[in-house]
Each structure stands twice: as structure tokens, then as C-alpha cells.
């Protein structure tokens, strides 16, 4: 009987010890160090087992809403899925929730949990222990690899400035000559009859009959005969008057563009010529003609019968953009090539800059004079023109493709550290050969992004917008009349 009682007592004591010992170890009222270490070890072992039993998930870098439990391709953009890194949810004692955001629309922000307009649960965004000013963004390495983000170092060097434009060949306006008469008459024969016809200096253009010219020829011949008679023995005063009359009629013929050869022919014939041949003053082509039919047409003094253009040199009319005007100067050399003559290159000089800009195209018209000894260059040909100006030396330069032009400012994406980028506004100078001069905002040795930078800039702008929105919301919360929250 006594032995049965002892067995029952031992059993009760064992039960009490087995049930109370774990409670004492977890509670640890006496602060035993060995009890704390034992409890922590058990908890760590349990967490490791739970983690090992978890499932690895995969997501898309461009579409975070796509989540799968195995690797593969994104069903939206067909990109390779990347492992989804699960972070332990912060406890209330560790971090504080700043706001709630829609998982499919990061622009939708709320200051309390709920549903997004798409019916999805809002997810919390936690405060950092020290929230820095928003000047950049950290980019995941998978994003950098998937979008082939390239960077380059800011360097110092020269920037060769080359202005490339197109031009249209035209006549040299200084070499356009009008053919007219200084006396009245009628064209009896036309030797040149169509536009574009080539003529040489001294060629007969047309023959004209003119009563005033006939009268002047007779006066010239009479004065010439009178002088010859008086020279054989006459009064000196009469001889002087005869020579004065001869000289006056000779000058009148010169003023009417009668050549010395024609006057000598008149002296030799000793009879007036009924028609006078009008000769070409230059070698060139006919670019204008007074009428369809010239023969029989009456001419009055100053009436232009032909316009001739000398093609020994031509002009190239070019258009230069407004920002390139600062590099143009009179006398500057330009290289010209034409599709009609591959491999050939001509050189010309800028001889004229238009004083005003073209209002529609915002370009300046300039003229380049080109020598054309072989008459190969023809008006209305298209020409490719290159103007090289002295390079900007010692400039801080970056590739032009690294610059984001927003209209009001110029921005580059600077890599501050591995995977950390920030947008920065820069001031630009000269541009040429694919490089741009940076006069402010960057220093030599810094690293800038030259591809996919617009994606990083968009993410940074989104982060900055959220930061400003939260600041405005905080200000509204201090105002009792402000609304409770906005989306």
C-alpha cells in the first residue's frame, strides 16, 4: 500500500516538472543567462526550419504584378523572370508605416489601409530610420542587366565642331549681265534664240537697225573725211575744229557700246553699216530672254534683251540652324560634295550671311562661293556642305546621347555608387562629333549613364513626386481645416 502511494507521488512530481520547466525557461523570472541562450537557440532553429520549407517565387522586373513559383518568361513582355526576394515584415517596434500604396498603381497613395480603385489590397510603405532627401534612386542589378544600362566617364578634351547642311547651287549673282541697247532700233536678225544656250565672249547675239546709229556713223565718216582734207594744208584752227568733231562722234559710238573693231571696220568701209552686230560681253549661258520671237522687235534704250550668266564660279545657298550661327564668319572655308560626282570635292568660301532669319524654319541663309573652272557645277544641283570651325579645347565633355532634354532643362543621370543613380541638371556649351560640352553640373571623372537613362529618370521623378506629396500632406495635417486624406 505504501509503495503504491510513493509511485503516485513520483508521477505527480514528474508531471509538474515537465509542464512547468518550459514555462519557467521562457518566462525566466530570475534572468538566468543559460535559459536565455537555450530559448534563443530553439527559436532560431525553428525559424531556419520554416525558411527552408518556404517556396522561392519569381517575378518580372518590368511587371511586378507577375509572380510565379518557378522560373520562366514574363507573359506580358517575354523577359526572363528574376527571383523574388522576400523581406521579413517589419514589426511595429522596428518601423512605422508612412503610407499605403496600390500595388498596380504607385501613384495611388492613402494614409490608411483599404482597397485600390482596381479592388486590390493596399500595401504598406515603411519609414526609414533616417529618411534622406530624394536625390536619386537605387536600381536593382537585374534591371541594369536586362536593359543594358551603359555608363561612361566624364572626360576632358577637345570638341571639333562641324556644321553639316545641304545647299542648292545657284548662279553667282555678281556674274549675271544684262544685254541691252542705249539707242532705239529694230532687231533684224537673232543669232541666239533660246534660254540655256551657251555663248562665248564676242559671239553675235543679234543684229539691229537703228536710224540714230546710222546718223552718227555718217557724222563720224564726214568728220573723218574733213580732217583728212584739212591735214593736207588748211587753217590750224579749222583743223582743230574738225578733229574735235571727229573725237566727239567717236566717243558717241563708244558710249553706245560700239567696239573698237567695229569702228575700225567703219573706217575701212567708209560707208555706214545698215545693221550693227551686238556682241556677247561674257562667256556663259542665257538665263533670260525678252520674248519668244526677237526678230522684228523694236527696242528702246535700256530694254533688256538677254540675261547672261558666267559659270566660271557658282554660289551654294545653304541654311544654318539658329544655334550654329555663332560659329559662322565671312571668308570661312566650306567643303562641298555632290551626288552627281562621287569622290570629287570642291572648296568654297562664305561670302555672304543673310541679316535676318527665316521665320518659318528658324534658319539663317548663307552663300558659299565655289570656283567652277570646268563648268561641271550647274545651278539647281543639291550639294552636301561641311563647315569646320576651330575645336573647343580642354572642355568637360560627355556623349550627346547621355543628355535628357526636357525643354526647360538638360538632365544627365549620374552613377554615385554601384547601382545608385541620381539625376542632375547640367549647363551645356558647344556640341560636335557626337559630344557635348558641359559648362556646369559635372566634373571630370564622374560617371554618367548613356543608355536607358530615361527609365531611371522616370523612377526618380516618381520617388520625388511621392516625397513632395507626403510633405504637402504633413502640412495639411497641421491645418485643422485640411481634409483628412486625399488620393
pLDDT tens-place values along the chain, 487 residues long: 556 666 566 665 666 555 555 555 555 555 555 555 555 454 444 444 444 445 677 777 666 667 777 888 888 778 888 776 655 554 545 567 777 777 656 557 777 788 777 666 777 777 654 444 444 566 656 655 555 677 888 989 888 888 999 999 999 989 899 998 888 999 999 999 889 899 999 899 999 999 988 888 888 888 888 877 776 666 777 777 778 888 888 888 888 888 888 888 888 888 888 888 899 988 889 999 988 788 888 999 888 999 999 999 999 999 999 988 988 999 999 999 999 999 999 999 999 999 999 989 999 999 999 999 888 999 999 999 999 888 888 889 988 888 887 777 888 888 887 767 788 889 988 888 888 889 988 989 898 888 755 555 555 554 555 455 555 555 666 665 544 444 4
C-alpha cell at 149: 544600362
Distances in whole angstroms, Cα of residue 214 to Cα of each of 189, 218, 263, 273, 347: 17, 6, 13, 7, 51
Residue 425: alpha-carbon gap to chain centroid: 19
Q: What is the pTM of this model?
A: 0.52
User: So what's the pLDDT on residue 65?
Assistant: 67
Q: Give exposure, 65-103, as e/b (b: 16+ Cβ within 10 Å).
A: ebeeeeeeebeeeebebbeeeeeeeeeeeeeeebbbbbe
- DSSP 8-state assignment for residue 122: P
Question: What domains are there in the chain, each with its CATH number?
Answer: 2-52 (no CATH), 163-172+311-391 (2.40.30.170), 183-295 (no CATH)
Cα separation, 329 vs 187, in Å, equals 48
Q: Could you tell me which residues come within 8 angstroms of residue 451 by beta carbon, excluding any fewer than 6 positions away?
A: 147, 148, 149, 150, 401
User: So what's the pLDDT on residue 455?
Assistant: 55
User: So what's the pLDDT on residue 138?
Assistant: 63
Distances in whole angstroms, Cα of residue 141 to Cα of each of 63, 82, 85, 145, 463: 16, 11, 13, 6, 19
Q: Is the dihedral of CA 339, 341, 345, 347 positive or negative?
A: negative
User: So what's the pLDDT on residue 487?
Assistant: 42
Strands (DSSP E) along 192-283, which ranges?
Answer: 198-199, 204-209, 275-279
Where do we find the cell 556677247?
A: 280
User: So what's the pLDDT on residue 448?
Assistant: 86
C-alpha cell at 349: 568660301
Amino acid at each position: 500500500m505504501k509503495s503504491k502511494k510513493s509511485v503516485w507521488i513520483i508521477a505527480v512530481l514528474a508531471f509538474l516538472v515537465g509542464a512547468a520547466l518550459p514555462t519557467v525557461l521562457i518566462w525566466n523570472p530570475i534572468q538566468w543567462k543559460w535559459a536565455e541562450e537555450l530559448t534563443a537557440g530553439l527559436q532560431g532553429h525553428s525559424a531556419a526550419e520554416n525558411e527552408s520549407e518556404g517556396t522561392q517565387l519569381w517575378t518580372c522586373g518590368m511587371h511586378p504584378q507577375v509572380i510565379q513559383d518557378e522560373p520562366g518568361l514574363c507573359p506580358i513582355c517575354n523577359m526572363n523572370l528574376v527571383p523574388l526576394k522576400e523581406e521579413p515584415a517589419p514589426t511595429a517596434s522596428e518601423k512605422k508605416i508612412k503610407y499605403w500604396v496600390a500595388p498596380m498603381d504607385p501613384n495611388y497613395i492613402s494614409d490608411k489601409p483599404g482597397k485600390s480603385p482596381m479592388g486590390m489590397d493596399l500595401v504598406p510603405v515603411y519609414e526609414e530610420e533616417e529618411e534622406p532627401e530624394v536625390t536619386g534612386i537605387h536600381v536593382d542589378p537585374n534591371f541594369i542587366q536586362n536593359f543594358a544600362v551603359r555608363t561612361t566617364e566624364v572626360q576632358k578634351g577637345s570638341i571639333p565642331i562641324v556644321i553639316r547642311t545641304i545647299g542648292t547651287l545657284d548662279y553667282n549673282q555678281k556674274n549675271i549681265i544684262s544685254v541691252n541697247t542705249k539707242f532705239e532700233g529694230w532687231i533684224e536678225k537673232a543669232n541666239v534664240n533660246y534660254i540655256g544656250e551657251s555663248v562665248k565672249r564676242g559671239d553675235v547675239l543679234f543684229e539691229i537697225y537703228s536710224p540714230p546709229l546710222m546718223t552718227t556713223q555718217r557724222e563720224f565718216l564726214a568728220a573723218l573725211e574733213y580732217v583728212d582734207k584739212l591735214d593736207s594744208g588748211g587753217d590750224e584752227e579749222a583743223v582743230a575744229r574738225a578733229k574735235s568733231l571727229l573725237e566727239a562722234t567717236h566717243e558717241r559710238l563708244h558710249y553706245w557700246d560700239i567696239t573698237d573693231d567695229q569702228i575700225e571696220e567703219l573706217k575701212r568701209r567708209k560707208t555706214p553699216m545698215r545693221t550693227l552686230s551686238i556682241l556677247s560681253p561674257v562667256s556663259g549661258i542665257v538665263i533670260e530672254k525678252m520674248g519668244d520671237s526677237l526678230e522684228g522687235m523694236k527696242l528702246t534704250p535700256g530694254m533688256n534683251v538677254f540675261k547672261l550668266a558666267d559659270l566660271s564660279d557658282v554660289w551654294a545657298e545653304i541654311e544654318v540652324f539658329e544655334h550654329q550661327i555663332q560659329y559662322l564668319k565671312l571668308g570661312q572655308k566650306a567643303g562641298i560634295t555632290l551626288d552627281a560626282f562621287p569622290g570629287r570635292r570642291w572648296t568654297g568660301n562664305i561670302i555672304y550671311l543673310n541679316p535676318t532669319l527665316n521665320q518659318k524654319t528658324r534658319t539663317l541663309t548663307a552663300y558659299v562661293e565655289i570656283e567652277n573652272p570646268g563648268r561641271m557645277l550647274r545651278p539647281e544641283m543639291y550639294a552636301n556642305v561641311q563647315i569646320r570651325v576651330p575645336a573647343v579645347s580642354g572642355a568637360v565633355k560627355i556623349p550627346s546621347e547621355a543628355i535628357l532634354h526636357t525643354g526647360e532643362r538638360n538632365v544627365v543621370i549620374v552613377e554615385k555608387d554601384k547601382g545608385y543613380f541620381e539625376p542632375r541638371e547640367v549647363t551645356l556649351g558647344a556640341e560636335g562629333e557626337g559630344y557635348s560640352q558641359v559648362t556646369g553640373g559635372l566634373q571630370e571623372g564622374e560617371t554618367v549613364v548613356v543608355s536607358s537613362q530615361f527609365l531611371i529618370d522616370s523612377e526618380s521623378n516618381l520617388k520625388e513626386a511621392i516625397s513632395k506629396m507626403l510633405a504637402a500632406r504633413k502640412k495639411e495635417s497641421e491645418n485643422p481645416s485640411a481634409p483628412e486624406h486625399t488620393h
